[in-house]
Structure 1
Amino acid sequence: MTATEAVEVRTPAWRGGFGRLWSAAVVSRFGDALRTAALPLLAASLTDDPLLIASVTACGYLPWLLFGLLGGAVADRVDQRRAMWSVDLVRGALMAAFAAAVALGQASIALLLALAFTLTTLQTLFDNAATALLPSLVPRQALGSANARLMTGQQIAGGFLAAPLVPVLLLVGVAMPHAANALTYGVAALLIASLRAEPPERAPRKTGSTLRGEIAEGIRTLWRDRTLRGLCLATTLVNIGMGGVIATLVLHVTGWLDAGNSGYALTLTAYGVGSVVGGLLAKRLAERTGRIRAVFLAGAVQTGCLVALGTVRETWAAIVCLGVFGVMGMVWNVNQTTLTQERSPTEMLGRISAAFRTLALAGAPLGALLGGVAAAGWGLNTPALLAAGLFLLGAASLGPLIN
């Protein structure tokens, strides 16, 4: 079956491995969202230096650029299930210790920076192992449905359930969001440890094989696959555009649209709701059109949304555009991840998925910088139009893959 043919979609069984992996992923994302919302507030209470506060967020991205490819190579070498629950136990212990430090008034900016960097470093192994583990838990025909359910559940937990809970937990105590995050890591570790997945069959490593050589082999394999190469290029382009939009959206809504904080909150909510709807639609669209066509369609529609966002000076238009943008974003993510799992050799899936993630996260800060320059030089609506051009290029790069 080629990448452009319609695909058979099956629904993964909740019993057994997939249900536990889904529960672990959702619980873990919930805890991560609690920490992500609480850490900047804690940083702001410790210093008024904007650079130091921003550095806490930056430390949550930097390890992907430094260790993302390494995490993928390690994930291909080890028992992925064991790696995941071991990482979560370590992360849980770190968060418990950090929560205790916060409760005792011993938190500092240096500690926040070290924590953010260490947790994300561990995440490079966890996320790549999780992507590589899923195909051993569900049938090949159910991968698309499984990815859609995973991403939708994580979006609901992180985008809708965790954020409103943070102020409530802070009323109980400043350390409570971090203690709750530690607990979620422990629960996720137990769920993953209970999996009974058979490790994938791997060919014996060549004598003298090194991690650097294995990383290079994974990148070469990705480059030789025409579909994965085109998809990787398209994903990199759209993530540069996304970085610019995300970095300047608050200025776009509150400044160019003059919609205030309430308008900004509504646009974010619309995007979140759209993402959930996209998770529900992704497998149906792929079943009718094929995965590459679904990704191409998502990019084309998102391009139109960005053009409208940058030209129509109405709050309601921004809300509608970002809602549809969220739908198509989830369609893209689900099918891109599934295509990677379907087309990658089992023994290289960790490395190939790591290359996608590393390029995506490298594109985001570059896009943020470009968006800031565009907004300062040509107007607050121009980052959306710049992103539209990048999305158009991304969608166009997929054209040759469609027969």
Structure 2
Amino acid sequence: MATVDVVGARVPAWRGGFGRLWSAAVLSSFGDSLRAAALPLLAVSLTDRPLLVASVTACGYLPWLVLGLLGGAVADRVDQRRAMWTVDLARGLLVAAFAAAVAFGHASIGLLIALAITLTALQTLFDNAATALLPALVAPAALGSANARLMTGQRIAGGMVGGPVVPVLLAAGAAVPFLADAATFLVAAALVASLRAQAPERKPRPGGSTLRREIAEGLHTLWRDRALRGLCAATALCNIGMGALIATLVVLVTGWLDTGPAGYAAAGVAFTVGGLLGGVLNGRLVDGLGRMRAVLLAGVVQTVALVVMGTVRSLTALVAALCVFGVMGMVWNVNTTTLMQERTPAELLGRVASAFRTLAMGGVPLGAMLGGAVATAWGLNAPPLLTAAFFVLSVISLIPALTAHVPVVAPDDGATTARAPR
């Protein structure tokens, strides 16, 4: 657990396990951005039916709803480092085979959907294992800084580097972005395999223990901790709104603002830049406010930014609002993840993380449908205002969690402040 002191705060040392984990995560994010940009373009070349094109993206969410809880339970049973590099190896080989199919003219919408579902199914295990592994690589005091560095690096690789590279790779052939993505998975697998992380001590599973019971234990632990329960509810509400915003942002920019593709590109860059600034500013906000209040502040400021997006008919205002929105989105994500890692027993972290993600992710498809409906009924600027309403509800749901400062040390030790009336 190598850390160093920087201006009174503890941050992870780049040497050793964290540096390799960071490199693997950033490299994988770069590869993911290549695939995410190339898949819709490939889908459009295969069909002119919008529903089929959209189904490629939509199917990427389904495994989280179906397999997310299972992935967390498995992550708590196995060696997390081994699970991560095995999954990355499998994903690398899978994407390489898909690239070969594209190169030889055998791609189809059905194959694209199968790829999206399979990759996300594997991701449910990888992401939960990664969340559980990080506390074994850095000291508890460095978790917030480590999460900020991970998320900022991923935002740079995925949002600022990967996107512009895709047209260059596509010029060399439709299969090239997928070959590059496969290579990033394989290199990331080698980096994770080289980690020397000490697995957390696990209590022996009682006789007759099943995956169903272990999943239920993770859900119960999440529910009993007032802070985590509030964060999960708040994130789920935010994600309903985010689904509406993401699904309709392109029509807001190109339709309501009438700025065309250039305006849409500017909006994406503004959000990415905001995320990078959020990674830099997060530590100062946490030092001044504490983690939970930093999350609350993030929700309030994002609500204001959303109102600006939906009421001020100006590209400049939209870009500024999206930049602020990105800053506070990074603050929200970093501290939500860190609080989950700090407050959850190590042997339960995979299950609690998976329960949190599954419940939170479930609102995105619903939000996307609501966004399309309100845009049709009340105008193209209505979805950001709908999102703002969900963020208001999210902030309200966080207020009871502000006094929940006691960390969880065991699922039934009575140390949490979660004993609210039922």
TM-score tier, shorter chain, comes to: over 0.9
Aligned 8 A contact 1:9 1:144 in 2: no
Q: Which residue of 2 aligns with 1:174?
A: 174
Q: Which residue of 2 aligns with 1:191?
A: 191
Residue 401 (structure 1) aligns with: 401
Q: 1:314 corresponds to which letter in structure 2? A: S
Residues 278 and 331 of structure 2 are in contact (CA less than 8 Å); yes or no, is this contact kept in structure 1? yes
Matched, 1:72 2:72: yes
For residues 52 and 167 of structure 2, the distance between their equivalents in structure 1, rounded to whole angstroms, comes to 23
**Structure 1: gaps of 5 or more residues:** 1-7
Show the counterpart of 1:4.
Answer: none
Between the aligned partners of 1:364 and 1:248, the Cα distance in structure 2 is 13
**Distance in 2, Cα, partners of 1:9 & 1:200:** 25
Q: Aligned equivalents of 1:247 and 1:107: distance in 2?
A: 26
Please state whether the residue corresponding to 1:11 is helix, strand or coil. Answer: strand
Q: Which runs of 5+ in 2 are unaligned?
A: 1-7, 404-422
Deviation at 1:247, TM superposition (A): 0.8
| 1:9 CA drift (Å) | 3.9
SS where residue 15 of structure 2 aligns?
coil
SS in 2 for 1:342: helix
Point out which structure has higher relative CO (alpha carbons under 8 A, 6+ apart): 1
Q: Over residues 75-111 of structure 1, what are the superposed CA-to-partner deviations in whole Å (9 max), with x where a residue is unaligned?
A: 0000000000000111111111111111111112221
Query: Which residue in the other structure is 2:304 paired with?
Result: 304
Task: Write out aligned runs for 1:323-342 (5 A).
Answer: 323-342=323-342
Q: Which structure 2 residues correspond to residues 2-401 of structure 1 after superposition, within 5 A? A: 9-401=9-401
SS at match of 1:10: strand
Equivalent-residue separation in structure 1 for 2:152 and 2:338 (angstroms): 14
Q: Say how many residue pairs are matched.
A: 396
- For residues 61 and 166 of structure 2, the distance between their equivalents in structure 1, rounded to whole angstroms, comes to 22
Residue matched to 1:3: none
Task: Report the Cα offset of residue 183 of structure 1.
Answer: 0.5
SS of 1:105's partner is coil
CA distance in 2, matches of 1:322, 1:81: 36
Paired with 1:17 and 1:313, the residues of 2 have a C-alpha distance of 48
* TM-score computed with the length of structure 1 as normaliser: 0.97
| Per-residue CA distance 1:95-143 (angstroms, 9 max, x = gap) | 1111111111111222111111111100000000000000000000000
Quote how far apart the aligned CAs of 1:402 are: 2.6
Task: Read off the aligned partner of 1:365 and give its amino acid letter.
Answer: P
Deviations 1:172-224 (A, max 9, x none): 11110010111001100000000000111010001111111110110011100
2:413 corresponds in structure 1 to: none
Give 1:389 deviation, angstroms.
Answer: 1.1
* Runs of 4+ off more than 4 Å: none
CA distance in 2, matches of 1:309, 1:49: 30
What percentage of residue pairs aligned between the two structures are identical?
A: 69
Q: 1:9 to 1:394 in 2, by over 3 A?
A: farther
